[in-house]
Structure 1
Amino acid sequence: MVLCAMLAAALMYADARFTRMEPVRAQLSTLVAPIQWVVSLPSDVLNWGALALSEQRALVDENRRLREQILTLSHRVQRMASLTAENVRLRELLAATRERDIPYITAELLSLDPDPFTHQMVIDRGRRDGAYVGQPVLDASGLVGQVTAISAYSSRVLLLADASHALPVQINRNGLRFVVQGVGSYEALNVQHAPDTADIREGDLLTTSGLGGRFPPGYPVARVSSVIHDPGEPFARVTAAPVAQLQRSRHFLLLFPPAMPIAPPEGELAAPALEAARAVSGALVNEETR
């Protein structure tokens, strides 16, 4: 034992004082590596088994949730089939224009803004993919926000929760229109200037109204969580919770809604109107002379 201790001290001294011991140490590390691997093998096997069991349990739970979700969605699809057919018949009866499917592309989360006073994220779609400033962004549950800046391969998205974000919405139940604004929290949105006598209730679904031409109509935005009536105040305090999973979603959809028709300038509109008025007045004069 004393001999081994003296040999170890001599080796440590030689390793500290001379550089020639580095190749020897490297060779010894190579020789010892299989022994270290064999010694650590039982613990690695146990860790792998525990991880595999936990992942399997998580997969089983996720599979169960997905099956329940499939059943729920299939029930809704069965109901929506008849409603869609009825909607088509009514549109044909009224000679209304048929709604077109909105094209989209998928995107994935790259990073979140670390600033606690802003609510923004970066996604992996950019100018080369057709993304543009003002483009609506959705997840599997509802509206997430809109694109505010783009680069060649990525885009920055302003979330609904940001205090600087507002958009027009309507109540899905009765069509009343309001403006929803973020408050800097992922869990709440403010419904601005809701009259105290307005027919708005807890649980009402707020969807995009299509006003302003940026967000297409009909996409879910939030659900009313509280309505507080203050006696003597003209407006009620209405709070809504976003339906989108702003803190958990990693995959998104970027919509490409059709361009809104733009009204012609005043000068271009005046000439055809003037010609039509002259034609009508000329026809009236001819009838009077007859």
Structure 2
Amino acid sequence: MENLMKSSLIEGRALTLRVVLCIVASIALMMTDYRFSYLETVRTYLLSLVYPIQYIVDLPVKASQWLSMSVASRIQLLEENARLQDENLRLQVILQKFHALENEKERLQQLLGSSVEVGERVQIAEILAVDLAPSKRKILINRGKSDDVFLDQPVIDAMGVMGQVIRVSAFSSIVMLITDPGHELPVQVVRTGLRTVAKGMGTVNRLSLLYIPNIGLNMSIKVGDLIVTSGFGKKFPKGYPVATVIEVIPDIGKPYAQVQSIPKAALERNREVLLLWKKNSH
């Protein structure tokens, strides 16, 4: 027992001595390396050997960071793409509205321009509804007695005659278009001065020119002639464009030829019309 204790004591002192010697040697090596850099080359080789291990150890972390950044970048790109698509759609809508406004501006300028050219008093009216009955050509406008609208008042657009007012209420009116089968308008051929009557046929963009005799037909009217109001009947002022002749057919069995024309006004496409007051009236 006593020998065992002595042996343990000797081993403990030997261990302490080794620790002290290691510490002293370490301090000596550090001081020597600090002053003479003897171990710099050793450290360089050791770092070179350790670097692959460090790289392999750090690889999962770097891969995770790269994956996170890639996912974040893709999500950001997708969000940016979606935002740009939304912005593009909004701009397209704005552009469509811009084109519509430009077209609206052009129509209004044409209407107002025509009022300046003719010299009569005019007022713009909006088309509220269209009569859908077969062979009927009537429209409802947003002007009435409160706007001084009166029966048989001429209605035009920027291109020519559209029709006349046949019914007036306080805030709206009904207009019969010149293509309605119940509408007849005194007109004349600009080239020859031939007077005739333009009658509606109940079809889209067609007028029949009445009472044109077969005798001397080739001299009095031909395809392409411009038809204007004659001023007869005292409803329409003289000289407003009405139609262009598109067909002239002699009818040997009857005293009058069959002549058709196409209206100058955009009867089926207008959204606004012009109400016309003749000079020195109303």
| TM value normalised by structure 2 | 0.60
Which whole-Å CA distance do the structure 2 matches of 1:250 and 1:59 have between them? 13
**Are 2:121 and 2:279, in contact at CA under 8 Å, matched by a contact in 1?**
no
Partner of 2:212, secondary structure, is strand
Identical pairs, percent: 39
1:51 aligned to 2:72?
no
Return closer, same or farther for 1:234/1:135 CA change in 2, 3 Å cut-off. Answer: same
Q: CA deviation at 1:233?
A: 4.1
Alpha-carbon RMSD across the aligned residues, in angstroms, is 3.4
1:1-290 matches, within 5 Å, as 44-45=86-87, 47-52=89-94, 58=99, 101-196=119-214, 197-198=216-217, 199-231=220-252, 233-258=254-279
Q: CA deviation at 1:234?
A: 2.7
Which whole-Å CA distance do the structure 2 matches of 1:44 and 1:154 have between them? 42
Q: CA deviation at 1:140?
A: 0.6
One-letter identity of the residue aligned with 1:240: S
Gaps of 5+ in 2: 1-81
Partner of 1:51, secondary structure, is helix
1:265 corresponds to: none
Return closer, same or farther for 1:259/1:210 CA change in 2, 3 Å cut-off. Answer: farther
**Are 1:186 and 1:242, in contact at CA under 8 Å, matched by a contact in 2?**
no
One-letter identity of the residue aligned with 1:152: A
Which whole-Å CA distance do the structure 1 matches of 2:280 and 2:233 have between them? 11
Q: CA deviation at 1:102?
A: 1.9
One-letter identity of the residue aligned with 1:229: P
One-letter identity of the residue aligned with 1:141: M
Which whole-Å CA distance do the structure 2 matches of 1:104 and 1:232 have between them? 45
| CA deviation vs aligned residue, 1:11-56 (integer Å, no higher than 9, x gap) | xxxxxxxxxxxxxxxxxxxxxxxxxxxxx97775454344345566
Which whole-Å CA distance do the structure 2 matches of 1:142 and 1:102 have between them? 14
One-letter identity of the residue aligned with 1:210: G
Which whole-Å CA distance do the structure 2 matches of 1:249 and 1:60 have between them? 15
| CA deviation vs aligned residue, 1:194-224 (integer Å, no higher than 9, x gap) | 1112310111111111111111111011110
| CA deviation vs aligned residue, 1:255-278 (integer Å, no higher than 9, x gap) | 111479xxxxxxxxxxxxxxxxxx
One-letter identity of the residue aligned with 2:257: A
Which whole-Å CA distance do the structure 2 matches of 1:175 and 1:159 have between them? 24
One-letter identity of the residue aligned with 2:183: H
One-letter identity of the residue aligned with 1:51: V
One-letter identity of the residue aligned with 1:207: V
Which whole-Å CA distance do the structure 1 matches of 2:279 and 2:93 have between them? 48
Partner of 1:235, secondary structure, is coil
**Are 1:227 and 1:237, in contact at CA under 8 Å, matched by a contact in 2?**
yes
| CA deviation vs aligned residue, 1:66-111 (integer Å, no higher than 9, x gap) | 6xx99xx9xxxxxx9xxxxxxxxxxxxxxxxxxx932222211111
Which whole-Å CA distance do the structure 2 matches of 1:239 and 1:220 have between them? 15
Partner of 1:195, secondary structure, is coil
One-letter identity of the residue aligned with 1:173: R
**Are 1:123 and 1:156, in contact at CA under 8 Å, matched by a contact in 2?**
yes
| TM value normalised by structure 1 | 0.58
| CA deviation vs aligned residue, 1:214-253 (integer Å, no higher than 9, x gap) | 1111101111011112445432110000000001111211
Which whole-Å CA distance do the structure 1 matches of 2:279 and 2:103 have between them? 37
Partner of 2:257, secondary structure, is strand
| CA deviation vs aligned residue, 1:118-143 (integer Å, no higher than 9, x gap) | 11111111101100010000001000
Greater Cα radius of gyration, structure 1 or 2: 2
